[in-house]
Structure 1
Amino acid sequence: MNKDQQISNVKIKQVSLFVIILVLAALICFNLALFIPSVLGAITIYVVCRKYNFYLQEQKKWKPWLSSLVLMLASLIILILPIYFIGDLLIEKLGNAQAYMAKFNIFLEKIHSYIYSKTGFDILSKENMDKLKSSVGQFSTKALSGTFNTLTVIMSMYFILYFMLDKPRLFERILVSSAPLKRSNVSLIGEKMRKLIMANAIGIPVVALGQGIVALIGYFIFGSPSPVLLFALTAAASMVPVVGAAIVYIPVCIFMIAEGNTGAGLGLAAYCIVIVGLTDNLLRFTLLKKLENVHPLNTVFGIIMGMNIFGFMGLIFGPIMISFTLLLIQVYRNEFADEDVPPDLKLANEADEVENKLIY
């Protein structure tokens, strides 16, 4: 082997150290996998409360423990309880899996029979009907089983969050110094993550609750079955882009018409298409556009992945993880391909470095 082709000792040491770090990180994550949702939740709430925490501690001169406890209580009331309420409501209503699946099967058969009798179109064969029933049963069981440990996740999340909020400057300084990246890329990750978390932790739940409440009014007005359960399902479904709440209220409207409540079913359909749809567009194009423009595919695949990993809380954490992965790809390019970075971005990065030096 030529001398130029030999691997330098420095590179060998770098690779060896990287492998050791990777193995240790894998061991830590594997053995503490139960607390991953808690850590993600703590980071999410920390980002949301960060500005107010600095304001209370550094400008209002509040004691760190007092500021931390007040912000934790506020986040519990404003952010966590509405989401937990929807999850708990679904558990209460769908807790009896056998009774729920029996009702769902009747509901599905009624819709299928009505469409077939009116149009002659066999929307689902018997084989596909059985597959759909089985898939829904497995998904609901998995989602609910992942939601049963929500209380434990919330308790450990707030335990971790307290130490983040108590000494925020120290916490951020440790993160920045530990990151094996340029200061400019650390700033880029921080700013992007702040926007993503604000959009997912505040924007998406607000849109979901808004649509759910507006739909609930319609469910009561037109006498739909189980309006409170439909409210929870509509709020959860509205987090899915494109189809959204329609995957709940359209089958309900068809079911009501098939039951003979034609006027109420058509009225509910018109109400949901116009009022609920308008609410969705209004909230998405005002609130979410101001926070962060998250691509719909990120949300779709993030929700699917998040529900499988974290249960109901994955509705928020899943899209964040997908977006964070794409962000790391961008950071990798910035880190190792400086020649492709535009001059204005380089100037912005240098400005970020100066600002970080002043902060830390």
Structure 2
Amino acid sequence: MMNKDKQISSVAIKQMSLLAIIVILAGLICFNLALFIPSVLGAITIYVVCRKYNFYLQEEKKWKPSLAALALMFASLIVLILPIYFIADLIIDKLGNAQAYMAKFNVFLDKIHSYIFSKTGFDILSKENMTKLKDSVGKVSTSALSGTFNTLTVVMSMYFILYFMLERPRLFEKILTTSAPLKRSNISLIGDKMRKLIMANAIGIPVVAIGQGIVALIGYLIFGAPGAVLLFALTAAASVIPVVGTAIVYVPVCIFMIAEGNTGQGLGLAIYCLVVVGLTDNLLRFTLLKKLENIHPLNTVFGIIMGMNLFGFMGLIFGPILISLTLLLVQVYRNEFSDENTPPELELPGQDDIKEKLI
């Protein structure tokens, strides 16, 4: 006969059954509404950024909730969406005439290939690789054009969701906090961490991108790079690419200028981008981003790669957040279910502490 203490209680069985039903239903909802996941994530991002101002307008200035929501939506459209739209529209506009653009791009690649081969003797860009690269760029340009309508759909549905979040913010946050099956302290911990991470990514990434783009644009204009405005948009967009970053834009441009016979201008632009643009990147990341939230570089790199595959453009923000949230939930799990005799959390020394010990 089994020991009663080892038997699973009927309450636990009911609890697990209900949890399984909730997980299945949530999975069905997410699967069938997967198209709107980027819209929901975008709405949450803008809500967090506008949260303080929303409470100020509604509770201190006594604005009508609908008026405050519409005002903040319009402000977010001007400040957050339009700069991104300008860069995307500029790139897509250049890709609009695909045949003419690809002809110019092929000439651009052929010049770079010929110059590298003549100087080094190595066929780094073989004909096979060149063909693959040209085909890849053609597919990307076609994908960018076909994705324009999808982007507009995401933005429209995002603002539709955002309106109801901003109109009744207290109710929205109450639903989230009461629905979470966690201690109030852990709910506050997750809420504060998510707020900091979203602010760091939603504000930090665009500022770093536009900052690097503007600094690079100055260099393009000074040294006479072809298509400086388009290069500005490409440089700003490339700043979010892990590891290589803006170098994926300015290095081929510098090689192209040297291959065209503008050796001094090409070398000058290369030095300018390597020093000034690189310094701008480090300055913004180690001041602004660290002030908002100290996110580990590996978290950012792998988070962006994973996030872009999962959520598209919004993955730039929510990819790193997803990794940080996973690590945070491990800590929350320990706080929720560990025994009181669990050893205290191991505190790793920071860089400042290590430097003091070395000195």
TM-score range, shorter chain: 0.7 to 0.9
Match of 1:300 in 2: 301
Matches within 5 A, 1:51-200: 51-142=52-143, 144-200=145-201
Change (3 A) 1:135 1:329: farther
Shift of 1:140: 4.8
Match of 1:30 in 2: 31
- The answer (yes or no) to whether the contact 1:182–1:335 under 8 Å persists in 2 is yes
Which stretch of the first structure deviates more once superposed, 313-322 or 17-26?
313-322
Instruction: Quote the sequence identity (%).
Output: 82
Which stretch of the first structure deviates more once superposed, 86-95 or 16-25?
86-95
Shift of 1:304: 2.8
- The answer (yes or no) to whether the contact 2:243–2:301 under 8 Å persists in 1 is no
Q: Are 1:285 and 2:286 an aligned pair? A: yes
Match of 1:2 in 2: 2
Shift of 1:143: 5.0
Instruction: Give deviations 1:213-237, integer Å, cap 9, x for gaps.
Output: 1111211222212222211110011
Shift of 1:123: 2.4
How many corresponding residue pairs? Answer: 345
Alpha-carbon separation, structure 2, partners of 1:321 and 1:142: 26
Instruction: Give deviations 1:70-109, integer Å, cap 9, x for gaps.
Output: 2111111111111121122221112344444443333223
Shift of 1:273: 1.6
Alpha-carbon separation, structure 1, partners of 2:119 and 2:87: 36
- The answer (yes or no) to whether the contact 1:112–1:124 under 8 Å persists in 2 is yes
Change (3 A) 1:323 1:83: farther
The two structures have a TM-score, normalised by structure 1, of: 0.87
Extract unaligned runs of 5+ from structure 2. Answer: 348-359
Match of 2:206 in 1: 205
Shift of 1:296: 2.3
- The answer (yes or no) to whether the contact 1:42–1:158 under 8 Å persists in 2 is yes
Matches within 5 A, 1:319-358: 319-337=320-338, 339=340, 340=342, 342=344
Match of 2:352 in 1: none
The two structures have a TM-score, normalised by structure 2, of: 0.88
- What letter is aligned with 2:61? K
Change (3 A) 1:338 1:169: farther
Change (3 A) 1:63 1:180: same
Instruction: Give deviations 1:283-311, integer Å, cap 9, x for gaps.
Output: 11221110112222332233333333444
Shift of 1:190: 0.7
Q: Are 1:227 and 2:216 an aligned pair? A: no
- The answer (yes or no) to whether the contact 1:302–1:322 under 8 Å persists in 2 is yes
Which stretch of the first structure deviates more once superposed, 169-178 or 133-142?
133-142
Match of 2:252 in 1: 251
Q: Secondary structure at the match of 2:72?
A: helix
Alpha-carbon separation, structure 1, partners of 2:43 and 2:344: 35
Q: Secondary structure at the match of 1:149?
A: helix
- What letter is aligned with 2:119? K
CA RMSD for the aligned pairs? 2.4
